[in-house]
Structure 1
Amino acid sequence: MISLIAEYQFEDALYILPGLFGTLSLIVVNMIPLSFVNQPHLYTDNTCCGSLMIKTCLLIGFMISFGTIIGACYILFNDYILDQEEQNKWPGYGIFLHNLFIFIAAVLLRCRKSYDNF
């Protein structure tokens, strides 16, 4: 993404927002241990954040992640693919691939964590 910004002068600075929110969702999704997600009770008396709060936070993280992919698709198609005057379409592909790889990294990190680490 840094090379895209350095090489191509974006008309709109909002093109970096999907990448920023994708990174935020990667952090939110992966900061929650799996042992907290798999608790059998939704509410616990001993902690301030029960299992319901943790699952809600995980849901919000994945919603942000899917939203960044949708936003990157919108940027790719609306500003680069459908624009007949735009000759160089690589920045649109770069923005989309950047967000897709962040999403894949978040899912892989979430799935590959083991219970032994916690």
Structure 2
Amino acid sequence: MAGFLDNFRWPEYECIDWGERRNVIVSVIAGILFFTGWWIMIDAAVVYPDQKSLKHVFHICGVFSTVSFFMINAVSNAQVRGDGYSDGVLGRTGAGVWLLIGFMLMFGSLIGSMWIFFGAYVAQNTAAYPGLAVFFQNVLIFFSTLVYKFGRTEELWG
């Protein structure tokens, strides 16, 4: 599965120089997705402040998604490939293990938010907005992680 995006390239437009603005554009898009996810969850917490409608423990999925966002983006692609990273505690292996733990946290949070949405709201026939907020928060943080992690690579942009 390694390198499945190696042969993928964005279309090259002559009117836009992506080379200089690539990191800025990707950072802005990822930031907007991350902000929107947290904004939806904060809105749900304000609209449903009591424990009966939105349990406070459901915020753990968003916190773990945020922690995994930082874990995943702390490791560069060059460190995982072993190009620019040879020192450190475990070198390339440590970077790969750190990235694996980050992705496991991210997918665990995403699966947990689906369980919260379907188990606590859809199956109980209660107001679905708090469950949707938990789910969309984690989905948007997940996509912001992917956009930031893989959008900054030079191979995709040319």
Q: List gaps (5 residues or longer) in structure 1.
A: none
- Residue 17 of structure 2 corresponds to none
- Residue 94 of structure 1 corresponds to 133
- Residue 113 of structure 1 corresponds to 152
TM-score, normalised with respect to structure 1: 0.85
- Residue 6 of structure 1 corresponds to 46
% identical equivalent positions:
27
How many residues align? The count is 110
For residues 11-90 of structure 1, the aligned pairs below 5 Å read 11=51, 12-39=55-82, 44=86, 46-84=87-125, 86=126, 88-90=127-129
CA distance in 2, matches of 1:48, 1:101: 32
Instruction: Name the structure, 1 or 2, with higher relative contact order (CA <8 Å, separation 6+).
Output: 2
CA distance in 2, matches of 1:38, 1:53: 12
Instruction: Report the 3-state secondary structure (helix = DSSP H, G, I; strand = E; otherwise coil) of the residue aligned with 1:49.
Output: coil
Q: List gaps (5 residues or longer) in structure 2.
A: 1-40
Give me the CA root mean square deviation.
1.7
Q: Which runs of 4+ in 1 moved over 4 A?
A: none
TM-score, normalised with respect to structure 2: 0.65
